[in-house]
């Protein structure tokens, strides 16, 4: 009777070990797939990040160019206002 109980316990332990080994293999293969997907995503993100940096640099160059244009126009407007003010002052004399 006790031998049967021991055999049942040993069979249960053996079955558990088999199930656990199968679970470990399944989990390991799934983790490998997940790691591969993460690596691919990292590559894509890195490529997009580099593209974004290049785009940002281009935008900053354009903004700088526009800023210089605005400064030039502001100077022209200031010169024109000064000239108008000077002409008005002469006319009033």
6-18 confidence digits (pLDDT tens):
999 999 999 999 9
20-47 confidence digits (pLDDT tens):
999 999 999 999 999 999 999 999 999 9
**Sign of the C-alpha dihedral, residues 79, 83, 84, 86?**
positive
Threshold 0.75, pTM exceeds = no
Q: Which residue bears the tokens 């109980």?
A: 5
Per-residue tokens: 19 = 């199930």
42-81 confidence digits (pLDDT tens):
999 999 999 999 999 999 999 999 999 999 999 999 999 9
């Amino acid at each position: 009777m006790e031998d049967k109980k021991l055999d049942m316990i040993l069979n249960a332990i053996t079955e558990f070990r088999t199930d656990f080994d199968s679970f470990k293999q399944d989990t390991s293969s799934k983790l490998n797939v997940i790691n591969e997907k993460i690596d691919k995503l990292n590559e894509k993100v890195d490529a997009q990040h580099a593209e974004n940096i290049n785009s940002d640099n281009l935008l900053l160059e354009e903004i700088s160019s526009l800023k210089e244009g605005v400064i030039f126009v502001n100077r022209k407007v200031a010169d024109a206002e000064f000239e108008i003010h000077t002409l008005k002052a002469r006319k009033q004399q």
